Structure 1
Amino acid sequence: MSNRILSIGSQFPQFNKKAAVSIEQGKEFKDLSNADLKGQWAVLFWWPKDFTFVCPTEIAEFNKKYDEFSDRDTLLIGASTDSEFVHAAWRRDHKDLKDLKFPMLADTSKSLAEELGILDEAEKIAYRATFIIDNEGIIRWVSVNDLNVGRNVQEVIRVLDALQTDELCPCNWNKGEATLTQQLDPSLN
């Protein structure tokens, strides 16, 4: 891979893409852009290709945890370099994807994946990358897996919780536990 992965502290790139949002005829697609992220946290996760084997397991797990992201005022967006039409067909075809609660972004030009530095040079598909973006549009966490290894959705939620505390969080910290900031200053408890 020749591109460098856009990392923590970087502004999330500008984009305006089509997304598959429904399997209901006439309501399948929507435009999605940075304006949709404005003022709220977002988790944008990428998978390599539609109609594959590891990808639907991740997408289905993100969907099962959708309410946990929503409870954290966090927009959840899935993405790949496939078209919105392929996304819609996959949603109609795969039982675990029919009732998705989040949009499937179509980066058919591969421009966003390339700008993020997650486009596999040989295959021209996106790596399994996850970006947590804060309410100012700044990337706060990036995780990239090899093409054949699925990610841990619960870990994405754990990191989101830690980032949203804006405090020092120790290893394996989980929401509801004391942060290091609270341990250093007992008056915060």
Structure 2
Amino acid sequence: MSNKTASVGSKFPEFKKKAVVANALNATAPGQEFAEITNEIHTKAGQWMVMFWWPKDFTFVCPTEIAAFNNAFGEFDDRDTVLIGASTDSEFVHLAWRKDHDDLRGLKFPMLADTSKSLAEELGILQAEEKIAYRATFIVDPQGIIRWVNVNDLSVGRNVDEVLRVLDALQTDELCPCNWKKGETTLTAQLQEA
């Protein structure tokens, strides 16, 4: 990873990037498949954001993760959370992959194109040799503060259920014990007198 890192408690970097938008494959006119999105996509609406990164399009582990996030899209939406997928590939490569791969045709979230690699570098998730993003996931609160970061090696897919579990815990704004799940009791801190 790079020397820079965006960690828990820091502000998520500002960005303005091209993306293949969710309804891209339903677009009737050329050009509607792309849109520019910014970090304000969630802060202006007072929503949470989950941004997950994959190393490369047209690979093997990546589409399994992207499809799993898409299958859980309603879960993120129910939690008032904007879901964004991202890699350092271009928006044109994203679109070609979506058209080519059965599991990616109906995606409900944008695929961000960080072709300059500037956002991945600022987040500290740019792999040194190939200059591609690690499998990183960021949960960002409505004020734009990073509340959770998870980074996997290039060969290991992540667990979408764990992302949802952590999002649920963060949204309680309470103390949540190990392996806590939505609906379970949270902890109450009691101060002991000296």
Same fold (TM over 0.5): yes
2:166 to 159, 165, 180: 159
1:32 pairs with 2:24:
no
Matches within 5 A, 1:1-189: 1-21=1-21, 22-23=24-25, 24-25=27-28, 26=30, 27-38=32-43, 39-181=46-188
**Superposed displacement of residue 4, structure 1:** 3.5
RMSD over equivalenced CA pairs, Å: 1.1
Contact 2:87 2:113 (C-alpha < 8 Å) held by counterparts: yes
The amino acid that maps onto 1:5 is T
Q: Which runs of 5+ in 1 are unaligned?
A: 185-189
The amino acid that maps onto 2:108 is K
Q: Which runs of 5+ in 2 are unaligned?
A: none
The amino acid that maps onto 1:10 is S
**Superposed displacement of residue 5, structure 1:** 2.4
Distance 1:2 1:77 in 2: 22
The amino acid that maps onto 2:135 is R
User: Which region of structure 1 is more displaced relative to structure 2, 7-16 or 32-41?
Assistant: 32-41
Distance 1:58 1:2 in 2: 24
The amino acid that maps onto 2:66 is I
Instruction: Report the count of equivalent residues.
Output: 183
- TM-score, structure 2 normalization: 0.92
- TM-score, structure 1 normalization: 0.94
SS in 1 for 2:168: helix
List structure 1 runs of 4+ shifted beyond 4 angstroms.
none
